[in-house]
Amino acid sequence: MEITKQIILLLTGLVVFVVGMNMMSHGLKNSAGKYIRKLFKKIKDKRIVSAAIGAGTTAIVQSSGATTVMTVGFLSANALTFAQGFAIMLGAFLGTTVTGLFVSLSSFSFSIFLMAIAFIGFIIGFFKNATIKNISEILIGFGILFFGLEAMKGAFNYPDIQNALIDVVSKVDFPFLLMLIGVVITALTQSSSATNSIVIIMVAANPSLLSSGFYLVIGATIGALLPAIIASFNSNTLGKRVTYSTLVCRILMAVLATGIIWAVNTPLFNFLNTIPESNVGILLAVFTIIYNFIYLIIFLPLITPIEKVSNKLIKDKDDELKKKSLHYINDNLLNTPSVAIIQVQKEIEYMFELSRINFNLGVNDILSLDVSNGKEIEDREELIDCINSAVSEYLIKLSNKASEEDETRIGSYYHAINDIERIGDHAYNFLEMARKLINEDLSFSSTAKEEFKEFIQMLDEMFVVARNTFIEYNELELQRLKELEEETDSYKDKLADAHFNRIKKNECKNELSPFHSNLLAELERVADHLTNIGYSSINPTGDEINHNKS
């Protein structure tokens, strides 16, 4: 029965430790997160600085997972280069060793005073100031973290727990298997800090487990990458390259270190066993620092060849898809900006026509409740997105070589393609709406369908006028576009009132109301985007009449 209590104490201590660490991390992110983001964006391609930022950020937020996931996010946004992202991840693992030092300090008598910090945080938490509240959360989390450590330490000091651990570890005496256990534990808890803390406490209470502790914390350095790996699934190619390159390097380093330690196991640990038992926990914490520092020194100079290998092994499918989706532009035209701008306009016209086709197909799906062309709409929507991304990147390249006059047109094009892309999104939403109507066995009344057809006819004319004014400025056409946009706004209100009246007369199902209002809103937004496209011919932002809804 007593051992059951100790196991519960151990598990509870672990939970309290993780809660405290998360609370402290949350408070630090709230108070320092925006400054960290600004710092990431300002750094240039300086590897040592990037690594220092990774280490410093992780030391602050107490989570290498948070830093690596944030890095993957910046890589996905193309805010960082491969070298910057890789260096930040290298430094992140060094920063996470701060937790190990915290844990090793818990063996000293003043850990009780560190726990008391939670009470101080609790007191100042009554202040309403947001900054003070963040500090309160940091202090409470810090104190709770040490309370959890003390609970785990108490459980490990129980003789039966010690004997059980010694028994398990003695049966798993193969270094690489111990390393794998460290990987699995960290992957499951998604916290190398928690794994290292448990191992340090275990070794501090049972110095005979020191050699096993080395292998376990080495394995933890691999498992710590799981959050970044998960984040990379939805990342771009650059994010995947950095994450998987980091994973391979962590595995290589872990296997190498495990092999070396195993080879010199007997003389090494005979020497380490001469160290006073009270310092064993600190020894393991220092080892994690040295290990990650050596890892940093080895791979920091190798970033360039690692990037080259990564580029060859992980192909950029997005780039290939973008190239296939383009019809009129290529990088060779960048040397003659005036020609490139003409070709960009043709590419945008093509993209515009694709969005128009999808718009017509989507609204017809809603009125006919026939979604047999769903795959066609989805494929075309993917193509529109690819063209949008490719043209955006091309315009950035072109802006570096264009004249001041041409830059105005480039700005107009950039806003125009975003509006066109949004029309494509609305068209896809129509398809989804049609599918929901079919699933719920609902359909609009014949009167409502006729009303929507009139709305769609207005938008058909807006498509023509918007395209004409985009290609060549025409004041009369632009005035007509403005009139049509105002008509659609009025017509939307008219259709909303008509639907409400039909509901009151029981001429229409009330269940259709959300679909009716959503469709009206979507159609109105399409009109807004078409207006923006037309006005982009005289205003780079495309919002001359303050129509810039999303």
Q: What is the CATH number of the domain that holds 461?
A: 1.20.58.220
Residues 298 and 270 both lie in one domain: yes
pLDDT band at 111 (very low <50, low <70, confident <90, very high): low
Specify the pLDDT at position 317.
Answer: 63
Specify the pLDDT at position 352.
Answer: 96
- Which of 265, 293, 313 represents a domain boundary (last residue)? 313
Residues 331 and 212 both lie in one domain: no
Query: Average pLDDT of the chain?
Result: 81
Mean pLDDT confidence for 167-180: 80
Residues 307 and 345 both lie in one domain: no
pLDDT band at 546 (very low <50, low <70, confident <90, very high): very low
Residues 260 and 170 both lie in one domain: yes
Confidence check: pLDDT of 364 > 60: yes
Specify the pLDDT at position 233.
Answer: 81
Interatomic CA distance for residues 75 and 54, integer angstroms: 14
> What tokens does 341 get?
């701008």
Q: What is the pTM of this model?
A: 0.51
Please check whether residue 544 lies inside any domain of the structure: no
Please check whether residue 547 lies inside any domain of the structure: no
> What tokens does 459 get?
């938008």
Mean pLDDT confidence for 393-410: 81
Confidence check: pLDDT of 366 > 90: yes
Please check whether residue 521 lies inside any domain of the structure: yes
pLDDT band at 280 (very low <50, low <70, confident <90, very high): low
pLDDT band at 315 (very low <50, low <70, confident <90, very high): confident
Confidence check: pLDDT of 35 > 50: yes
Confidence check: pLDDT of 158 > 50: yes
Residues 223 and 284 both lie in one domain: yes
Residues 264 and 328 both lie in one domain: no
Specify the pLDDT at position 79.
Answer: 67
Percentage of the chain beyond pLDDT 70 is 78
Residues 338 and 309 both lie in one domain: no
What sign does the CA torsion over 319, 323, 329, 332 have?
A: positive
Confidence check: pLDDT of 544 > 80: no
pLDDT band at 34 (very low <50, low <70, confident <90, very high): low
Mean pLDDT confidence for 150-169: 64
Total number of domains in the chain: 2
DSSP line for 25-60 = HHHHHHHHHHHHHHHHHH--S-HHHHHHHHHHHHHH
Specify the pLDDT at position 409.
Answer: 85
> What tokens does 207 get?
């110095």
pLDDT band at 548 (very low <50, low <70, confident <90, very high): very low
Residues 351 and 422 both lie in one domain: yes
Confidence check: pLDDT of 545 > 50: no
Interatomic CA distance for residues 188 and 186, integer angstroms: 5
Mean pLDDT confidence for 69-92: 80
pLDDT band at 489 (very low <50, low <70, confident <90, very high): very high
Please check whether residue 318 lies inside any domain of the structure: no
Mean pLDDT confidence for 323-340: 84
Residues 264 and 412 both lie in one domain: no
Q: Which stretch, 6-20, 68-82, 172-186, 379-393, has highest mean pLDDT?
A: 379-393
- Write down the H helix ranges in 371-474: 374-399, 404-439, 446-471
Domain range for 360 is 323-535
Residues 288 and 369 both lie in one domain: no
3-state helix, strand, coil in the chain (%, to 5): 85, 0, 15
Q: Which residue has the higher pLDDT, 91 or 434?
A: 434
Helix axes 237-263, 210-223, angle to 10 degrees: 170
pLDDT band at 136 (very low <50, low <70, confident <90, very high): confident
Q: Which residue has the higher pLDDT, 107 or 116?
A: 116
Residues 285 and 363 both lie in one domain: no
Please check whether residue 453 lies inside any domain of the structure: yes
Percentage of the chain beyond pLDDT 90 is 32
pLDDT band at 65 (very low <50, low <70, confident <90, very high): low
Specify the pLDDT at position 543.
Answer: 52
Please check whether residue 546 lies inside any domain of the structure: no
Mean pLDDT confidence for 353-375: 94
Specify the pLDDT at position 12.
Answer: 83
Q: Which residue has the higher pLDDT, 392 or 185?
A: 392
- Which of 292, 313, 334 represents a domain boundary (last residue)? 313
- Which of 294, 313, 332 represents a domain boundary (last residue)? 313
Lowest mean pLDDT among 30-34, 180-184, 229-233: 30-34
Q: Which amino acid is at 108?
A: F
Residues 127 and 223 both lie in one domain: yes
Mean pLDDT confidence for 371-376: 93
Rg over CA atoms, the chain: 31
> What tokens does 473 get?
């400025």
Confidence check: pLDDT of 550 > 50: no
pLDDT band at 522 (very low <50, low <70, confident <90, very high): very high
Other beta carbons within 10 angstroms of residue 322's beta carbon come to 19
Nearest C-alpha neighbor of 341 from the set 413, 420, 404: 413
Specify the pLDDT at position 108.
Answer: 47
Please check whether residue 190 lies inside any domain of the structure: yes
Specify the pLDDT at position 547.
Answer: 42
Please check whether residue 550 lies inside any domain of the structure: no
Mean pLDDT confidence for 188-202: 70
Confidence check: pLDDT of 64 > 90: no
pLDDT, tens only, 411-450: 889 889 999 999 999 999 999 999 999 999 999 999 999 9
